[in-house]
Amino acid sequence: MNLVIPDEVHTGQSATPSGWSYRMFYFGAETLRRAAAEMAGRAAAVPFFTAGVIEDQALAGLIRAAHRRLEDRTVSLLERQSIFLHLLIRLIARHAAAPPPLHPTGREHRGVGRAIDYITARFGEEMTITELAAVAGLSHQADTLANLLHAEVRYPPGSLVLEAGCGTGSQTVILARNNPGSRFVALDISPASLAQAEQAVQSAGLTNVRFEQGDIFSLAHADASYDHVFVCFVLEHLADPLAALRRLQRVLRPGGGVCVIEGDHGSFYCHSETATARRTVACLVEVQAALGGNALIGRQLYPLLGRAGFATPRVVPRVVYVDGSRPDLIEGFSRQTFIAMVRGVRDQAIARGLIDPAAWERGIGDLEAAADPGGTFCYTFFQATATRS
């Protein structure tokens, strides 16, 4: 098996005159991180692989079998997802540079029983791992934050809404379910993310979403072609969010509304808070800035919308507060959302000299301690709305 690390130059040239053929999986970093978290039963960093070629007959056979099963459309969606997850866990456990420890069995979450009952009652029906996680109470960011961020996002029946930067569809499903009388165009630059988003929408039984590959900075849509535009967790990743907002304004009809939701990592605080915990969070902000993003963009939405030419911008802070009385938020937000995001930049932060490994581990440990029932977490998202004049 040949591994190609993201951003590593490779040619794909044949080694013999007769040529060669191959099949390849392309794993997103977030997909690998989530598989590692499933292994450990807690948040985990993105696994890293140092070997360029792996000699592992058992794993090679598993990969071949996975390709065949995943291409067989008679195989259920749940089985395809389970095969894929099993493959990732085997790959990480056997060949990652520092694999997380496997989560011990025998003390499963009580929601596993609910999932078993759900499967038994619907045996033979299509279902997904995401659906089962929701039944078991194990789904994380999208479900945890849905009511907080989307409770007021409602569109009049018949509206045509552009979701710019839909990613893997977490927000798409919520929007389409909450607005059954509206039509959505879910746009993203990544074909892989669009495929996952389309699968998520289909699994939810929703039919009011159309998917389209495209770039916010070069939209092919006609002027004033949408009634509303929705943007969530997108601007923080863009080098020029102002230009993006100006382009989105062009496709919005006069009087149409835009809704923008972003976080602000500088708004985070916890108890008990330590200097090392604060430093690890600062590393997340600094790494994102080095990559051309802005993890502090939430506080900037009001002036950005005004400079982009939108009328009557209004920003509402949405505070997530977590303590021992909210175990769902301890797991769903503190650990599986916020601390998981921080963990994800470990290697980059250390490689850039922002922090040393020992300090990083102390900081993560301090954040985990604040996520225990005796600690508290607080973070602010910002929801901004405006109209095109």
Output the pLDDT for position 53.
Answer: 84
Token representation of residue 107? 């003390």
pTM (predicted TM-score): 0.66
Q: Please state, in angstroms and rounded to a whole number, the distance separating the CA atoms of residues 98 and 95.
A: 8
Residue that is written with structure tokens 């998917």 in the block: 211
Cβ-Cβ contacts under 8 Å for 137 (sequence gap 6 or more): 109, 111, 114, 328
Sign, CA dihedral 336-341-342-345, equals: positive
Output the pLDDT for position 142.
Answer: 45
Output the pLDDT for position 133.
Answer: 60
Question: What is the residue-level pLDDT of the chain in tens, covering all 389 positions?
Answer: 888 766 667 666 776 778 777 778 887 777 787 788 777 665 567 788 877 788 888 888 888 888 888 888 788 777 877 888 888 888 888 888 776 655 555 545 555 666 777 677 776 676 666 666 655 554 444 455 676 788 779 999 999 999 999 988 889 988 998 899 999 999 999 888 898 889 889 888 899 999 999 999 999 899 999 999 999 999 999 999 999 999 999 999 999 999 999 999 999 999 999 999 999 999 999 999 998 999 999 999 999 999 999 999 999 999 999 998 887 788 778 887 899 889 888 999 999 999 999 999 999 999 999 998 889 999 999 999 999 98
Residue of 314, 315, 316, 312 lying closest to 388 (CA atoms): 312
The 8-class DSSP code of residue 16 comes to S
Longest dimension (CA), the chain: 67
Residue that is written with structure tokens 């749940």 in the block: 78
Token representation of residue 283? 């590393």
Output the pLDDT for position 143.
Answer: 53
Output the pLDDT for position 100.
Answer: 60
The 8-class DSSP code of residue 120 comes to H
Whether the Cβ atoms of residue 149 and residue 320 lie closer than 8 Å to each other: no
Phi, psi at 12, each rounded to 5°: 75, 15
Residue of 287, 186, 178 lying closest to 229 (CA atoms): 186
Q: Please state, in angstroms and rounded to a whole number, the distance separating the CA atoms of residues 241 and 243.
A: 5
Cβ neighbour number for residue 374 with a 10 Å cutoff: 11
Residue of 156, 200, 153 lying closest to 178 (CA atoms): 153
Whether the Cβ atoms of residue 231 and residue 257 lie closer than 8 Å to each other: no
